[in-house]
Each structure stands twice: as C-alpha cells, then as structure tokens.
C-alpha cells in the first residue's frame, strides 16, 4: 500500500483531513438534525454550541486534550522512553495524528481489524499488542508488508505452537518480507504471555528458526497482573518488570536478537508507566541498539475515575493530566423523592470501571456544582440519587475508563471549554470501531 507524499509523522494527513468532508446525517447520534446534509467543515462553520446539541452526549475538551498531549510527550522525552500509544482507546485517526505529531514513534493496536483501519489512513509503524494467528488476516498482512517497504509492524507470540501456526500461514500466503515478532512475557493469573523464562527462551528459539519470522524483542502488559496502586500492587508490577529485564538478558546472551536492527522492549499501559521507565531504561543505557517503548493510550482523554486515581502523574510522578471526557444527560423523571432518572446509560457512557460521576448542572448562567451520586445504569438510563435537580435539567457527568467510552460514539464533539457558560463545538472526532 503506497502512501501519499503528505504522509508525515507516520500517517497520511490527506486521508485524515478528508474526514472533515464527510456529510453528517442520522448515523451520528451526537449531531442534531440541523447539521444533517452539511459536511463537518460546513457544520463547524455555523459555530454550533453545546446547548444546541441533544442528550445524551459525550464530549471532549480541547484544552484538556492539548494539555495531556504535551504533558505525556514531555514526560516520555525526559524519561528516555518512546511512546507508541494504544490506538484502540480512541480508534480515532485524527487523534492518532495528533499523538504522532507530538512525537509518538508508532501506534499500538490490538487486532487485525484495528490494523486495517490504521492502514486505511496510511499509518506506517504499528505495534500489535497481541498474537496474530488468523490465516486470512496473516495473508492480508503479508501482502501489505510486501507491497509497502515503509510499513513496519510487530506482533507477539507466547508459545512454540503459535510460532508454528504463524509461520505456516505466512508461508502458505507466499510472504516475502519477514514478520517482526516479540516474545510476550506474562505472569500467574494474568492474561496471555509465557509464564516462565525457560519456555520464553524456547519460543524465542522457535521464532529464530522460522523462515518467515524475525525476533526483534520482548514485551508484555504489567497491568494484567494487578489493578491498584497499593504497595502490594506496585510490588507486583516491579517483580514483573524485573523478570522482563531478566528475559531480555537471557535472550541477548543467547544471541537470539542477532537479526534485529533495533531491539524492542515494551510494556506500560496508563497506570504504571513510571515504574516501566524506571526499571527498563537502564537496558537502553546499557545497549545502544535497544528502545524502551511505552504503550499508554488512556492518557490522552484521561478520566474522572479509574485513571484519575491510579495514573503515575496523579501519584507524584509529574504534572497531573486533566480529564477531557464529559457526559451530558438530561433529567427526564423524578418518580420518587431523592431519585432522578437521566436519559443516558450503558449505551452512552462507560460503566465497567466505575459509574458516571455527577459534577454540575448546566443552566443559563453556566454550571453550578452538583452533589449526589449515580447508583446504577440501565441501557438508556442512569439513576441519580441525592441531587437537587428538576426535570429538564442537563447534568454534566465525569466518566471512568476512556477505553469503553469512545466505542459508543461514531462522532464526538470537541468543546472549546467544557466549564464555560456556553461551550462552543470546535471539532468533531470520528471514530472507527
């Protein structure tokens, strides 16, 4: 797949810019009928305001996005790590472009369907934080690699059997370029990944012997082993990262990285990237051919829940991030004292890492603070308790877990300032889930 001459920063900017010419219609639940028939550019030129949009609604805050983008890029530069943000968080090519423009070295994805989206927008460097074993998908990927010498992708393996299946599928597809793979290290009770170093070495040797594969490093996901920032949770992360270092040293001593132009050691979601940098960057200092790559993705939108509490930058590792995500829902019923029903629920806002958090009520003079809590959500409703609201009021909600927020919206309005008396819509972010 050939990219256009405007494919700077690892993505085809023309294809991203073309999203602004998409015509709005009933497919986009964030856009009111007044915007239908217009392109994104034409609609934004009308100067739409938040109060002209319907509810329920999910929005992004432009200033918070810019702050988070700059903050994480600066942190990574200071820490001496590369950033390949997990694009599956947003599946938004315009946001991927912003991350690449800010210095990200690649985009991380989780599967072949996400990779097809990335290729449709000319993304050149991709980390697949998963194993790829689907023969049809591997045949497509082999053709992509053979057709575009500038396209770089690496994926994971965690067994000799997965190496065999991947190599067989690629040989059957007539692949010419070798596929770069990393040995994935896991841990007890975690997700995928080799559980012991001896097995990891056997997997690495199988890759080294496979004619269509090339071993370029190791990786894993520390947050699969814990879910909090307690001393015990942080110790679990530290032990895992120490084993990752040990695995690198074992495979390097065995000469198994001899085909890699650059050795990759990758870990780090959005919860423990400070520990990843602290424990893994000594490898890069000791070995000039090695890159430490973080895959943090939730940092860009951040949240008012799980990541607000657990982010290293909320625990003293640097300047805190800001939540760019807000839900907006209208009070449609007060069926009994102390209970109000909002018109947004599971289909609109994330709920797997905490329920939406009532923050304020929008009125003609701006926002007023709101107490109370959401006790439950149904598909289309949220149960708001203990709040002084009236039927028709619009409530601003903080949400938790960006990874299950973006997937509910095909188009997300970006506001100039979600806290202003009358926020204006300054952009529309297109997602592809």
Domains plus CATH for the chain? Answer: 8-61+321-430 (2.40.37.20), 124-296 (3.20.20.10)
Reported confidence tier of residue 1, pLDDT bands at 50, 70, 90 = very low
| pLDDT in the model for residue 72 | 98
| pLDDT in the model for residue 429 | 98
Q: What would the mean pLDDT of 163-172 be, rounded to a whole number?
A: 98
| pLDDT in the model for residue 363 | 84
Question: Per-residue pLDDT for 9 more than 80?
Answer: no
Contact by Cβ (8 Å): 252, 283: no
| pLDDT in the model for residue 7 | 40
Distance of alpha carbon 389 from alpha carbon 383, whole angstroms: 12
For residue 147, the tally of other CB atoms under 10 A from its CB is: 12
Joined tokens for residue 180: 């770069």
State the alpha helices, DSSP H only, in 28-111. 40-45, 62-79, 93-101
Distance of alpha carbon 128 from alpha carbon 153, whole angstroms: 7
Q: What would the mean pLDDT of 142-149 be, rounded to a whole number?
A: 97
Reported as a single tens digit per residue, the pLDDT across 73-126 is 999 999 999 999 999 999 999 999 999 999 999 999 999 999 999 999 999 999
Stronger pLDDT, 11 or 366, i.e. the higher one: 11
For residue 191, the tally of other CB atoms under 10 A from its CB is: 14
Question: Per-residue pLDDT for 8 more than 80?
Answer: no
Residue 412 β-bridge partners: 429
| pLDDT in the model for residue 364 | 82
State the alpha helices, DSSP H only, in 130-230. 135-147, 160-172, 197-209
Give the burial class of 230: count Cβ atoms within 10 A of its Cβ; 0-12 exposed, 13-18 middle, 19 or more buried: exposed
| pLDDT in the model for residue 366 | 86
What is the average pLDDT value for the chain, to the nearest integer?
A: 96
| pLDDT in the model for residue 365 | 82
Contact by Cβ (8 Å): 125, 114: no
Distance of alpha carbon 148 from alpha carbon 189, whole angstroms: 39
Contact by Cβ (8 Å): 39, 21: yes
Reported confidence tier of residue 298, pLDDT bands at 50, 70, 90 = very high
């Amino acid at each position: 797949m050939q990219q256009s001459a405007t494919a700077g920063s690892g993505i085809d900017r023309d294809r991203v810019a073309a999203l602004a010419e998409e015509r709005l219609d009933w497919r986009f639940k964030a856009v009111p009928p007044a915007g239908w028939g217009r392109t994104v550019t034409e609609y934004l030129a009308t100067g739409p305001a938040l109060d002209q949009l319907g509810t329920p609604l999910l929005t992004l805050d432009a200033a918070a996005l810019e702050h988070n983008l700059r903050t994480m890029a600066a942190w990574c530069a200071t820490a001496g790590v590369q950033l390949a943000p997990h694009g599956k968080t947003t599946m938004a090519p315009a946001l991927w472009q912003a991350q690449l423009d800010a210095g990200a070295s690649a985009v991380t994805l989780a599967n072949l369907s996400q990779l097809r989206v990335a290729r449709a927008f000319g993304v050149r460097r991709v980390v697949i934080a998963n194993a790829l074993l689907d023969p049809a998908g591997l045949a497509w990927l082999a053709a992509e690699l053979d057709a575009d010498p500038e396209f770089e992708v690496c994926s994971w393996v965690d067994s000799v059997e997965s190496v065999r299946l991947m190599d067989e599928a690629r040989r059957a597809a007539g692949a010419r370029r070798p596929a770069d793979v990393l040995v994935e290290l896991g841990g007890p009770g975690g997700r995928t990944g080799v559980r012991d170093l001896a097995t990891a070495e056997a997997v690495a040797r199988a890759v080294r012997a496979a004619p269509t594969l090339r071993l370029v490093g190791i990786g894993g996901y520390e947050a699969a082993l814990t879910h909090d920032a307690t001393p015990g949770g942080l110790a679990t992360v530290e032990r895992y990262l120490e084993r990752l270092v040990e695995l690198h040293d074992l495979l390097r001593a065995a000469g198994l990285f001899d085909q890699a132009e650059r050795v990759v050691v990758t870990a780090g979601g959005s919860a423990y990237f400070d520990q990843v940098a602290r424990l893994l960057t000594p490898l890069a200092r000791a070995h000039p051919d090695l890159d430490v790559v973080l895959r943090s993705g939730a940092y860009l939108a951040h949240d008012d829940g799980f990541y607000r509490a657990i982010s290293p930058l909320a625990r003293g590792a640097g300047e805190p991030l800001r939540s760019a995500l807000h839900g907006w829902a209208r009070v449609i019923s007060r069926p009994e004292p102390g209970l109000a029903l909002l018109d947004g629920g599971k289909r609109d806002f994330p709920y797997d890492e905490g329920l939406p958090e009532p923050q304020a009520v929008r009125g003609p003079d701006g926002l007023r603070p709101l107490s109370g809590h959401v006790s439950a959500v149904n598909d289309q409703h949220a149960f708001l308790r203990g709040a002084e609201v009236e039927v028709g009021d619009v409530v601003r909600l903080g949400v938790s877990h960006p990874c299950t927020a973006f997937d509910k919206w095909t188009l997300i309005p970006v506001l100039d300032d979600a806290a202003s008396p009358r926020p204006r819509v300054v952009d529309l972010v297109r997602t592809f889930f």
